Each structure stands twice: as structure tokens, then as C-alpha cells.
Structure 1
Amino acid sequence: MTRRRERRFRTVSTALAALTALGTLAGVALTGAAPASGASPKAAAGPGTARTSAIAPGVTYGYFDIPTARGTARAHVLDVDLRDPRTGVGLLYPGAVAARAPVSALADGVGAVGGINGDFFNISETQHPGVEATGASVGPAVANGHALKGAVPNGQRFGPAMPPGVTTEAVLGVGYDRRARMDDLSLDGTIRTPDARLPLGGLNQYALPVGSVGAFTSDWGVVSRLRSTCGTDTSRGAPCSTDTHEVTVRGGRVVASADAPGTGPIARGSTVLVGREAGAQQLRKLSLGDRVRVSHRLVAADSRVPFSFALGGYPVLRDGAPLPGLDPTASAVRTAAGISDHGRRLLLLSLDGSPEYRGGLTVAEVADTLRGLGATDGFSLDGGGSSTLVAATSTLVARAPGADAVTVRNNPSGGAERPVPNGIGVFSRE
């Protein structure tokens, strides 16, 4: 550890000393809660002073301040004990991959007691005039054990630079063994036609690899599929392909064909195949009535236990050590998740975006903060900062005991929640 990193880690550790004394948010020290969004939160009594409250069995909410060279950052945390059989986590999403909603609405819609925003997403299309931004997330997504989507090519992602060696297939999730973990999820899929056996290049993705064929199902939503044929594997802003084709498969047979990707809902049980370049040329060989079989699944690189839920982002902490190459200079309002106790404890962290705390943390400081909270693994999610991509998406919500709805506990950058494609929901059976 370099001296600079060692000094920073000592600073963060000092800021977390009071939190540790309170049981690292796992206890029941009911000493107040942060004000709702829109209010002006009072500064804690001193650096590192924590405020915590139990909001459900096995779920504690708290906030604390972190002194930095740029000023004070305020962190809001949901501490989830996955050992408690009454507690669980799952994917929050608005019922379609290509759709967005505020975290509070997503949480209230499914009765969650808390949650944070999730993956980075396709927020704008200024480089492709006339092409609709889909709002779909970058990485893989799994809800209730069901694979919703695969990862876009690395060059097509939105968000800050990832650590060396990390790809868009990186996920954080919880398996059916109720243990949180990080892993990579790759798409394994096949298209069988009368004349060929083709690899499936994408599943409900806003960007497909050059020359591939991707599948879109009813999980996609109603947004146009045109964006999936824009850009390249290495350049998000490259022009859209001029060589495209799509076919609709229902009941194992081709029932429709078109030269350009379409829009509108996809009927349940139907699959729309979108091809670009070489993939388009393969789809043009199909005729109405031809038999086509499409199969797909998401395959974990390391986990033997299937994920009950998973979403994308990128790792910042692994086995207790920050990943090499984390940015130590650019600070922003950020959202992240930490894993401790061999996956039995999940920490959901979101920084405050009000003006007095907007200096935020660097990615390297986020990793140190998660480590100071006891996490051995840490994962960065979408946040708020200088870029328009993340200006107001850093959100943590929690429901007070006995309340009918969640309350935004941090102050999102810009003063209001931004609709997001997914998040992590915390559930409780009281």
C-alpha cells in the first residue's frame, strides 16, 4: 500500500470509527435518521458520527460523514443481514428492460422497504440523430432467476472508465443460497435455422456486436430496436449500420420479416431477431414459415449457485483489496454496494448530493469506505456527478417502520430523482 493510499485509508477509517462502535450499522442504535430529500440535513456532530435506525427485521438504515481534502461527504447506507430469513433482496425494474422509473416508485410498486439505483444505462443519443435512447442498462440483468438481458460490448457502455481487465459482463447479485457475490455473466445462445447454427450475439441489448444477431423478447418493452445496430464494439458514437434485417419468430417459425429494426411491443412467446452486417445477411436467407429455434442463458464465470437476482456495474474491491487502477482524482456523488461476512451481509451505499456534500468521493475512496465498513468485495453502481449521464441517479430510499411508502433519504444531485432502468430492492416479511 502506498503512503498516499495508506493516509487516505486511515482518514476514512477514522471517519468510520463511530460507525464501528455502533455495530457497523448491524445493531439497533436508534439515534435518529437523516431528513427526507429536499430538506437541509444538519451536519453530524463530528467527523464520522453515525446515525442509525432499524427499518425492518435484518435491515438497518444509517448515515455518516466522511472528511476529505475537498470537504465533507455524507454517506447513506442500508445494511442488509441476509442470514435473517425474513429479509431478502431483488432486482427493481419497471417491468421492461427499455424503460425507466424513479427508485422510490420502483420500490413502492413491489413493496420494498428500501433500495438504491443500479446499473449505468443508455441515457442519450446525441451522436445518432433521430435514434431514440432506450434507457436500457449496460450490463446483464437477472430478476427472480429469469435472465432479462445480456451485456453490451465494452465500447458501447455508458459510465466512467472501468478498472483494467473488467468488462461489461461484471455483475453483483444474490444466489439462491442467499449469499451476495460478484461475478461475470456471459450470454450463451444459439439460433438454429434450416441451413445454419448461428451464435446469439445479444439478448434485449441496446447495442449488438458488429456482424451479429440479437434476440429481443417481451422483456424488452416498446422502445425501438434501431439503437441496437448503432455504433461498433469499440466506439459508441460510430454511425448506425446500413445493413440490417429483422425477423419475428413465433411458435418456432418465421412469421414476419423487415429490412430495418422495428418498434412496439413484442408478444409474449415471440422472439424478434435483429441482425447487422453478416448477421443481417444470415437473416435474409430465412423465408416466412421457416423453422427457427432460439435458445439462450446467462452463464456465470465462477458461481455454481444460480443468481436469483443480478445487475451490472463494475467491481472496485475484491478479497479485501481495492482493484488496481481505480481513479484517485475524480470525485463525484456515487452509489455502490459492499459484501461482507462471506456474502451474508450486503451494504448498499449512496452519497448525498446536496450542495454542502456534492464534492463526493473518488472511486478509490469509495473502495476504501466499503472496506472500512467491513466489506471484502465492493461494486460501483451508477452515481451522480459532473457528467450528464450520472447527474441525478444516485438515490437511496428506505421505508420507516409502519410507513406505507419509502422516503428518499439522501438528496439526489439536482434536487430530484432521475428515472433509472433498475436498482436493488430490499424486502422484509415482518
Structure 2
Amino acid sequence: MNGFCRKCLVPIVAGAVLLGSVTGAGWPFAHPPVAAAATAVSYKLVKQGESIVTSGAKQVDYQWVSSNSSKTTQLVHVLQIDLTNPYVQLNAMSGKAGSVTARQSVGAMAKETGAVAGINGDVFNTSTSTSEGAPLGAEIRSGEVLTSTSRLQGMYSFGVTADRQPIVDQFGFSGTVTAEDGTAFELEGINKSAYKFEPDGAYSHVNKLYMYTDNWTAPQRPMNSGTLPTEAFVVDGVVTEIVPSGEIATPVPENGYILRGHKEAADFIKNHLAVGQKVSANYQLVSLTNGKTYDPTSFQMMVSGHTILVDGGAAAKFSRDISGLSGAAARARTAVGYSKDGKTVYLITVEESGGLKGVPLKELQQIMIQLGVYKGVNLDGGGSTTMVARPLGDFSVTLAHPTSYGTTQRQVANGIGVYTTAPQGTIKGIVASGTKTLFIGQQASYALKAYDTYYNPIDPSGLTPQWSIDKPIGAFKGGVFTASKTGTAKLTVKSGSASDSVEIEVVGADQIDQLTVSPNTTVLEAGASISVPVKARLKDGRELTVPASSIQWEFKGFTANSADGKITVQSVSPNATVGYAIARYDGFSTMFVLAPGSEKPLENFENVSYNVGFTGLPAETKGQAAIVTGLPGRETSKALQLDYDFTNGTGDRFAYAVLNGGNGIAVDGSPSALTLDVSGDNSSNWLRAEFKDANGKLAYVTLADPIDWSGWKTLRVDLSSANIAYPAKLTKLYVVNLAQDQDERALQGQIAFDNLKLQVPPQNVAITNTNVVLTVGSKNATIGGQAAKLDTAPLVQNQTTYVPLRFVSDALGGDTVWDPKEKKVTVLRGDKMLELRPGQSELIATGVRVPSPAAPLVKSERVLVPLRVVSEQLGLTVVWDPKKKSITIY
């Protein structure tokens, strides 16, 4: 390619990964390492459903089902693109306004460029001090090179040629800049951040010449390259400005570029280029596998990835070290590949959310092979994994599945977009659009949408919908459905001769594995308003928020009103030392314990008389901790600010705000919880606190994992399970950046703390401590040495020992209630709740479904339960005397 052509710059799609691998020092308070897989397990893809996105593109959803039924099924999502369809195109998507240094979410990229679907792309360096977040590899958009390749080993790229042929290969970059006097100098790259070459580790910008175009919008070219540049400004092939030993401040226009040189490259600029003279650039891509050269304009698009995954329809040997990607661990994944005939492209994501943990790279290879991928490459995964798609009949894209952060999309360097060039067609069909998964009592709105012969949306105004449902699981009125019964049903909408249906699921208790409630306080006092969000984790791994309208509350020890996700305590029962708030959904229950007490200030940083300092690990960690005034949201008050920079460290990294020289601030009493306001930086790092207890033992408490918000947020942290002996000291507040999955977290950031308060109940939940002695086959028992009589004797049946539940629970301070309608027994003891049904071998232990060694049974109108249930689920100790056949429980 001769002369300068912006349409010849190679676009690169970036994701998030640090160059090279990092290892940690194994700090005792870090997350435990991921265990290696034990035995081989086979998997298969099971299709769940598909939907048309546009003419030539559809979304197909799969379950990744294990032959080992104990492993959670994972969810795989695929955008399947038919390259033989003339109306569908693939192209690279970049940062804001096409910038390679202004990251944005995949959804924002799609909206900005008009894509109807898309996924995230290239890996990128997340360190804000050494990189602008530009993609590591090459990116081509509509034949224009946005960034060139990097000199990194084993980095593969995915591209589609101008004649619609897909390709996966390793590419190098070869270029030359020629002055008017005929002198030529090697062009190293286009729009590149500073990095180290592989395998020699040489610095990328030393003694090199680079080109920067208007697609580079970062304030420096590049940051922290370790070189002082000489730059030349070129517009329409003519040099207009030269700055020796400095940077040009003039903005780069679309028809211009800047040549940046160091040492010999700087001498080339100073000695052979002059204002008013012509200069030309020639560059191309070179296959590193077969030596073939490519004019970048021969590509419609290109996005780089990481290691190759599939080659020739088989799992390929990894071309790069995968430890930096947590390749052996289950994570969210993104990949792209194409079929053997080159007619189909597969854009693939594996979901990570709730109970869904994703897959290791070796499983991703098998997923791709089963999909029909002939050659494919890994793209950026983990928190970057995102798929968006335009639902049929909709005018904009939405998340095709949750990200690792729920509905939050990570800002990434680039992506692969799906576009349509189809003309406006005539109406082809209608779509029923609305929520597919509901809970009893939940309301959801549904709408009629329409699409044309090319599956693109059209205005449905003028259509008159008629709604119906085939099973009585709820009522439908005025476009609003109210769920009243669990099960599945088909919701159908008709307009004229056209119709469409959507499967509606109302979740039932038999689908739930865990129900959790996260109160913002557990202090029991009249007038207290407690936020009580409830979440359900289903057996298939989905994690869903249960609407407040679907939860029924029961209160013991106090009276309260519940509305809109909040409990308002009206009165506390006289002499109540504990209260229970029980949340029930369709017979599945969970609860939390409240205790009367007070909330007392610990520190608000307004009148601090002690020293606040900073320390970091490893030694290269930089930062500072200080009491400051004027933070956004705290303009007129003081707060503790912690700045950190992990750029130069390796392994697990820690930034500490050290209180009172490490002596800490006093934490008296026996607090049950700590609340504090934290200004987050959305870094995905780990936020912790260090306490030194009365015995000099250190305790580490997680405040947030991850830090996934920006701005101020109130956190409530349970201290009851931290095993802290009081009085104690709060010695440190700190940020952790673990080596594992380090590419998912920012290396620099700023956190602030304010309004630390302790929730201090006057006493812990009281539990009766005594001995209960039972004998198999006998109705005689003792409680604390005192004789007692049983209605039903303990027995052994099918090698399982059964004991009367009510007798044991009552003797040890529990509260047992039998519900004759539900045929269910509920036990409350301390901070535990147990619910079980005779004849059923599963029970619910404080909101968690667990298997029972055997089903409870009824004998002489008394419920008997397996002895292991008593010991494991009520926190009791059991001693068995085989000679006397006696059972001691305490």
C-alpha cells in the first residue's frame, strides 16, 4: 500500500489481560487457590432455544450439560452469522467515537455504531499508569487500520476479508515511511501503547518510529514509554509541523497523522523530513504461519484475541500462557470461530452469574467443537464477557445474558459488531415481548412488537393485540400479567392473522436451591426501618431477585409491617432477647435474626487525633492515606481517603490505610455488625479490614468483594462470624488486588471511608446449653440430669437412628411448630432455622436446600428425624454409646 490511507489502518479488538503471568506470595488472608479438576467428566451441548436477530443472524442458547449430575449446568450463548447472506455484516466496534483509547461498554458501542448484536473483543492492559487501555492486537474497521499488531508470541486474530471470507491467524506488521529525498525508515506500528516485545523483553518505543492517527485520543502518545519523542505532523501527505524532543499539541484531523520517533527514528525525522515536504507511508500485514502478506484494505474487519483454541475442528495446543486468563479455572468466556466451509461465524459467550461459574478454556474448546467451529480464537473473558442482541421486533440492543457484574457492562477496548444493510421490508410477523420468568404475585407488562421480511423492527402502531394464556397460572389484563400459581404456560398474542407466543415460567419452591435475605441492619428496636432484599438461587444456577410483592413475612419476638422491600418494626415483645424475621415464598423459607441493641459511632474522621499512614505490599506498591475534606458527596465534612497504585508490583498486592500507627482504634463491647460509608472506584478489587483482638490475634473481615460501584455506598458487614475476642482494635482498612484473575481488576484507584458505626446487641442470641440423654427403644430420658418422659422412643430403621424432634428441640431451647396444613415442622434455635416434611428426604436449613440422610417419619403423631439432622443442622454435638445404645446430645 503506497501513500497514507486512513482506510488502511488495522483495527484491533481489545479485552483485558496483563502481559505475562503473575504469581502470588500466598498471603494467608487471600482467596484460596482454585482446585484442579479431579476426574474427567464428559459434557454435551443441549439447545435451549433460538431467536432471529436480523436477516442472516440469530442467537442460539445452549446448556452445557455434565455427565456428572452433581456439577452445575453452564449456559452458552451464540450469535450465529451466515456470511452467505448479503444483508449481514461483521465489523469491529471501538471506544467512544471510534477511539482506541476511550473504552466503553459493548452495549454503548452497539448503540453508537448501529450494531444489532455484538460481543466484546481483544484483551487489553488494565493498568491505567502504563497503558491507555488500547487493544493489544490489531483492529481493522471497514478496511481502516485502527491499531497494528504487537510483537507478542502466539497472539491470534479473527478477521473477515472484503470478499466475506473469515480468517483466524497470527499476523505481524511491516511498514515503511519514505521521505521526499527517498530515505526510508521502518514503521514499527500504528496507535500502540507502550509494552515489551516478546520474547526478548525489549521496550516497544525505544529507537522506533510509530504512527498515531485521530483514532488515538489519549493525552499522550503513549503514556510511560520511557522515551522522549521527536514528532512530525503530516496532513494530506505533507509535513506541516515538526517538534524536536517534544510532542505536537495540534489535534490530529481525519486526513492527517503524527509520526513519533525515538533515537534513530527521531534522527530520521529531524534529518530527512521538513515542513512543506511530502512523506508517504506503506504498511501491510504478514501471516506469521505461512508468510502471506495482506493489504489491510483487503479486510472488512479484524479483531485480535489471545490463544488459538480450535484448529482443523480439533482442540489446538494453547499458543500462549493461559495462566493470566485463569485458563484452568471456571470463568466467563468469549470466543469467535468459523465453520469449515467458511460460511458461518460463531460469536460465543459462556455466562458467569449467580451459581453459573463459567468454564475452563479446555471446556471452551469442546463447546466450540460441538458447535461446529473449524478454527477459533479466545477473546477477552471474565468480567469483560458481554453479549448484546436486538430482540426480534425491538429497535435497540439489550444484554443477551447477565455479565459477571449482573446488569453492569464493563468498559472494554473494542468488540465485534453485527450489522444489517437490509432495506425496509413489509410486515412479516408480530412478537410478544415481556418478562419470561416471574414469581407468584409478581406483575409484568407485555407488549406487541412487529418485524418485517428481513426481521428488522417496524412500528406496530395500528395493530390491535388480543392476549390469551393456555394455563391458569395468572391473570392477564390490559397488557399486564399477574402471576398467581407456579408452573409454565404459553402467552399468545394475535393481531389479524398474525400471532406469536412466549413461554412464561412462574418459579416454584421445587426449583429453588437457596433463598437469601440481606438486611441492612439487624438491630431490633421499635421504629426501625430495615431494607430486606431477597434473592433466589435456582437449581439450574440462575440467581434472581424475588419481588417484594412475592414474599410473605412472619415475625417472632416483634410486630412489624412489610411493604416495598422494607420491614418497619412496630413494637418489640416484652423481655424479647431475639427476634426472627422469616421470609416465605411458596413454602420455601429463610430468615434472619434481630437483637435489641444500639448503634454507636466508631469513627467519623471529623476530630482525629491519631496518625493515619500508608503501607503497601509488595514493596513496589505506592499510595497514600489521609484525612481529607471536600470529596464529592462529602464536600463539607472529612473522610479517610486511600489512594493506591499496584502498577510495579507482582503477585498478590495490598494497599493499607494504617490507623494510629498500627495500634488501631478501640472496638468495645461485642458488636454484631459494622456499617460504614465507602466511596467506591468500580475497580473490582477486594476491600477488607484488619482487627487485632483481645488475645493479640489478627482477624480479617471482608467489606466488599468486589468493589463494583462508584460513589458513596453504605455497607453492612457481619462481625459475628469473625471470631473476634473483644475488646479489639480496628487497625487497617485496605484494598487487595489478587494475582489470580488480576486482569479483571484496576491497578490504580481511590477509595474513601466515612461514618463507621457499630451495631451492638446487649447479648448474643441465647441458646440453652444442657445435656439430653436418650436411649434407643426407651421412652425414658434425662434433661440436664433430670428424668423426663418421651411420647415416642428413639428407634433405628434401615440403619438410621431417629430421635423425636420436638423433645430434643424444646429441651435445648428451640422453638418447634407443626403446620398441619402444610404438613411441615419448623424449628428455630439460636441463629438457625430448620424446616422439614415427613416423607421428604430434603430439608431447608436457614434458606438452603440440603439433602437429608433419610426422610423424617411420623410415629405416634410425633415427628422423628435422623440423628445427623440434629447434629449437623442445629449445631449440636452427639455422642453415641453402642453398649448402652444411648444418645447424648448437647
Task: Mark yes or no: TM-score above 0.5.
Answer: yes
Determine if contact 1:332/1:362 at 8 Å carries over to the other structure: yes
Deviations 1:150-203 (A, max 9, x none): 02232xxxxxxxxxx613xx3101112212211233323212234731010111
Relative to structure 1, is the Cα distance of residues 195 and 52 closer, same or farther in structure 2, using a 3 angstrom cutoff?
A: closer
2:267 aligned with 1:247: no
Cα contact 1:152–1:206 (8 A) shared by 2: no
CA contact (8 A) 2:183 2:272 kept: no
Q: For 2:294 and 2:265, locate their aligned partners in 1 and report how far apart those are by CA, in whole Å.
A: 32
Give the counterpart of 1:60 among 58, 61, 79. 58
**Would the aligned equivalents of 2:334 and 2:381 in 1 still touch at CA under 8 Å?**
yes
| Kept in 2: contact 1:254–1:292 (CA 8 A) | no
Q: What does residue 179 of structure 1 align with? A: 165
Looking at structure 2, the residues matched to 282 and 83 of structure 1 have their Cα atoms a distance apart, in angstroms, of 48
Q: CA deviation at 1:323?
A: 1.9
Question: Structure 2 counterpart of 1:346, which letter?
Answer: V
Equivalent residue, structure 2, for 1:219:
215
Match of 2:339 in 1: 340
2:89 aligned partner: 88
Instruction: Report the counterpart of residue 40 of structure 1 in structure 2.
Output: none
Larger deviation, residues 83-92 vs 294-303: 294-303
Moved more, 90-99 or 264-273: 264-273
Partner letter of residue 138 of structure 1?
A: L
Report the Cα distance in structure 1 between the residues aligned to 2:93 and 2:125, rounded to whole angstroms: 17
Query: Equivalent residue of 1:353, what SS?
Result: coil
Question: Any residues of structure 2 matched to 1:132-281 within 5 Å, and which?
Answer: 133-154=131-152, 166-167=154-155, 170-193=156-179, 194=181, 196-207=183-194, 208-227=204-223, 230=225, 240-241=226-227, 243-250=228-235, 251-261=237-247, 265-281=251-267
- What is aligned with 2:361? 363
User: Which string of whole-angstrom CA distances, capped at 9 and with x for unpartnered residues, describes residues 266-299 of structure 1?
Assistant: 1222221112343234334356526351313332
Counterparts of 2:247 and 2:331 in 1: how far apart (Å)? 37
Say if 1:253 and 1:264 are closer, same or farther in 2 by CA, change over 3 A: closer
Q: Equivalents in 1 of 2:209, 2:77: separation in Å? A: 42
C-alpha distance in 2, partners of 1:179/1:400? 27
Q: Does residue 410 in structure 1 map to residue 409 in structure 2?
A: no
| 1:51 alignment partner, SS class | strand
Match of 2:300 among 301, 304, 308: 308
Q: What's the CA shift for 1:59?
A: 1.6
In terms of fraction of residues, the more helix-rich structure is: 1
| Paired residue type of 1:352 | E
| 2:317 paired residue number | 324
- Structure 1 residues 105, 269: CA separation in 2 closer, same or farther (over 3 Å shift)? same
Task: Give, in angstroms, the shift of residue 380 of structure 1.
Answer: 0.7
Q: 2:385 aligns with which of 389, 394, 403?
A: 394
Aligned residue number for residue 280 of structure 2: 294
Count of residue pairs brought into register by the alignment: 356
The Cα shift of 1:303 comes to: 7.6
> SS at the partner of 1:79?
strand
1:427 aligns with 2:419: yes
CA deviations on 1:242-267 (whole Å, 9 max, x unpaired) are x4322222342251314234567312
Partner AA of 1:181 in structure 2: I
TM-superposed deviation, 1:91: 1.2
Tell me, yes or no, if the aligned pair for 2:284 and 2:294 is still in contact at 8 Å: no
Cα deviation, residue 426, structure 1: 1.1
Alpha-carbon separation, structure 1, partners of 2:134 and 2:159: 18
CA distance in structure 1 between the aligned counterparts of 2:154 and 2:389, rounded to whole angstroms: 31
CA distance in 1, matches of 2:88, 2:276: 48
- Give the AA of the match of 1:322: A
Work out the CA distance in 1 between the residues paired with 2:337 and 2:79.
10
1:419 is matched by which residue type in structure 2?
A: Q
> Is the partner of 1:285 in helix, strand or coil?
helix
The one-letter amino acid paired with 1:406 is V
Of 322-331 and 51-60, deviating more is: 322-331
1:381 paired residue number: 379
Q: Is the 8 A contact 2:158 2:167 kept in 1?
A: yes
Q: Deviations over 1:132-151 (max 9, x none)?
A: x4221111111111222202
Rounded Cα–Cα distance in structure 1 between residues aligned with 2:251 and 2:125: 19
1:108 aligned partner: 111
Structure 2: give runs of 5+ residues left out of the alignment: 1-35, 195-203, 423-453, 455-890
Other-structure match for 2:76: 75
Secondary structure in 2 aligned to 1:88? strand
- Amino-acid identity (%): 26
Deviation at 1:374, TM superposition (A): 0.7
Residue type matched to 1:113 in 2? Answer: V
Contact kept, 8 Å, 1:316 with 1:379, in 2: the verdict is yes
Summarize the Cα distance change of 1:363–1:210 in structure 2 as closer, same or farther, 3 Å threshold: farther
2:883 matched to which residue of 1?
none
For residue 317 of structure 2, give the secondary structure of its aligned residue in structure 1. coil
TM-aligned CA distance change 1:192 to 1:176, over 3 Å: closer
CA deviation after TM superposition for structure 1 residue 62, in Å: 2.3
Q: Distance in 1 between matches of 2:187 and 2:294?
A: 23
Q: Which residue of 1 aligns with 2:350?
A: 351
TM-score by structure 1 length? 0.75
Bigger shift: residues 262-271 or 337-346: 262-271
Work out the CA distance in 1 between the residues paired with 2:148 and 2:294: 19
Alpha-carbon distance change, 303 to 372 in structure 1, aligned in 2, over 3 angstroms = farther
For residues 223 and 363 of structure 1, do their structure 2 counterparts lie closer, same or farther at Cα, with a shift above 3 Å needed?
Answer: farther
Q: CA RMSD in A?
A: 2.7
> What letter is aligned with 2:192?
Q
The alpha-carbon distance between structure 1 residues 58 and 341, as it changes in their structure 2 partners (threshold 3 A), is: farther
Letter aligned with residue 391 of structure 2: A
SS at 1:152's partner residue? coil
Q: Secondary structure at the match of 1:108?
A: helix
Distance in 2 (CA, whole Å) between partners of 1:215 and 1:274 is: 6
CA contact (8 A) 1:320 1:371 kept: yes
Does the 8 Å CA contact 1:354/1:412 hold for their aligned counterparts? yes
Q: Tell me which amino acid in the other structure corresponds to 2:184.
A: R
Q: Measure the CA separation in 1 of the matches of 2:400 and 2:300.
A: 27
SS at match of 2:355: helix
Alignment-mate amino acid for residue 395 of structure 2: D
Give, in angstroms, the shift of residue 109 of structure 1: 2.1
1:408 partner amino acid: L
CA-CA distance at 1:348 after TM superposition? 0.7
Name the stretch that deviates more: 140-149 or 188-197. 188-197
> 1:60 Cα shift?
1.6
Alignment partner of 1:343: what SS? coil
How far apart are 1:209 and its partner, in Å?
A: 4.5
CA–CA separation in structure 2 for the residues paired with 1:185 and 1:263: 32
Separation of aligned partners in 1, 2:114 and 2:247: 36
User: CA, structure 1 residues 73+277, in 2 after alignment: closer, same or farther (shift >3 Å)?
Assistant: farther
Q: 1:300/1:282 Cα in 2 relative to 1: closer, same or farther (>3 Å)?
A: closer
Provide the rounded CA distance (Å) in 1 between the counterparts of 2:147 and 2:415: 14
Separation in 2, partners of 1:364, 1:265: 46
CA shift for structure 1 position 339: 0.7
